[in-house]
Amino acid sequence: MRLAPDLTITLGATSPMRKALSLVVLLATLALVVTACGGGDSAPEKPTVPSGAVAVVGDQEITQEQFDQLYDSAVKQGEANGQTAPKKDSAEAKTLKQQVLQSLVQNAEIQQEAEAKGIKVDDKKIQEDLKAFKAQCCQNKQKAYDKYLKDQGLTEAQLLEQFTLRQQAQALYDDITKNVKVTDEEAQKQYDKDKATKFTTAESRKVAHILLDVAPKGKATAADCAKAEEVLKEVEANPGDWKALVKKYSADPGSKDTGGEYTITNDENWDADFRKAAFALKNTGDITDPPVKSQFGCHIIKALGPVTPATVQAFKDVKQQIIDELSQTKKNEAATKWFDGVQKEYAAKSAYAKGYSLPPQQTATDATTAG
């Protein structure tokens, strides 16, 4: 429920203004908090979009002025992020227009649902949010704050509206999810399901290696191991020069300057052949002989310590973590399910001026365009 410092959101992947759009309140955990309530058995009559408006959403008009202000702000914020403003009538401009309208529609729906549910706005909290925002964006310096608003194409009134919408959206989310519960039995079931993958730490071991990777590079060949046999003799003749030999011969850029050292785990994060050989070494200081061929080349592996056994977290130690995660998942599912229903309800009582529409993935099939 926290807005980014610049009050921006990420737009659709096809838009060059992906980071530009502001003044949109979306709960990350809710996806879209947009609602309508009530509704009788018969379909409501579609509203007519009046002159000077781009849409009517339920009982609320979205004016051309509101749309233009937000669109200009989106463009300015995109430019502030080093992006090029979309050309008039281009596909990029069309996409941005749809996303701007979508944000305004969502804002209108949030406001109406909050009002319908009797949600009260705490003005003191809004002022606190504004104060915190000034500190975060501008270190409480008025000139810096004024410049920030100008550069972003924003006004303080728009910021205050944003904080109001955020407060309303949070209240809606809390109301929707207030009855979500997770039982101990559900937590235990989830623990049993995830025990091996999430709550078990594989056995580990500290090792070091020298990787031989002669031509062709990156493809294990017999030549790699032939060269490794030669280097192994040098290692055995000069055991105290291990790090120097690693630096001289190893083709592993990630470890050649640190003695070839890694702490590896006995799981799929490591090459199977390398892992098997490393954990097979009986004692600290033992070295693989012959060298070990893997998909990367041929390795001389040295055990730097004993095997640390695998550990399993007890249910009692992770129970609350599981409950919290399941609770959040359930809340998201409840909110999403609820939103799917009310989205259709709003589509039935919303209309858009000619030339204005929501993004394709958000446009309801029964939506109409009014001129």
pLDDT tens for each residue of 118-128 = 999 999 999 99
**pLDDT(363) > 90:** no
> Quick check: 279 pLDDT over 60?
yes
For residues 239-255, give the mean pLDDT. 94
Q: Could you tell me the pLDDT band of residue 216, with boundaries at 50, 70 and 90? A: confident
DSSP-based three-state secondary structure for 208 = strand
Per DSSP, the residues of 129-167 read HHHHHHHHHHTT-HHHHHHHHHHHT--HHHHHHHHHHHH
pLDDT for residue 88 is more than 80 = yes
Q: What is the pLDDT of residues 4-35, one digit of tens each?
A: 233 333 323 333 222 223 333 333 333 333 33
Residue 348 has pLDDT above 80, yes or no: yes
DSSP state of 261: E
pLDDT (0 to 100) of residue 16:
26
CB 356 within 8 A of CB 55: yes
Answer yes or no: is pLDDT of 230 > 50: yes
For residues 17 and 12, give the distance between their C-alpha atoms in angstroms, rounded to a whole number: 9
What is the chain's mean pLDDT, rounded?
85
pLDDT at 145 over 90: yes
Residues 6+ apart with CB under 8 A from 368: 46, 351
The answer to whether the beta carbons of residues 199 and 313 sit under 8 Å apart is yes
In the chain, the percentage of residues whose pLDDT exceeds 70 is: 85
| Cα dihedral 224, 226, 230, 235 in deg (nearest 10) | 50
Mean pLDDT across 295-304: 96
Fold classification of 53-181+322-369 (topology level) = Triger factor/SurA peptide-binding fold (1.10.4030)
Tokens (6 digits) for 254: 């990630």
CATH 3.10.50.40 spans which residues of the chain? 200-303
In this prediction, residue 326 carries a pLDDT of 98
Indicate whether 369 pLDDT > 60.
Answer: no
| Average pLDDT value for residue range 332-346 | 83
State residue 44's pLDDT score.
64
> What pLDDT digit, counting tens, does each position of 41-62 carry?
455 678 899 999 999 999 999 9
How high is the pLDDT of residue 38? Answer: 36
Could you please state the CATH topology (level 3) that the domain comprising 200-303 is classified under: Chitinase A; domain 3 (3.10.50)
Question: Exposure pattern of 197-233 as b/e (b: 16+ CB <10 Å)?
Answer: eebeebebbbbbbbbbbbeeeeebeeebbebbeebbe
Both tokens of residue 329? 């998942």
For CATH 1.10.4030, list the domain ranges present in the chain. 53-181+322-369
Overall average pLDDT of the 232-241 stretch = 94
Average pLDDT over residues 318-322: 97
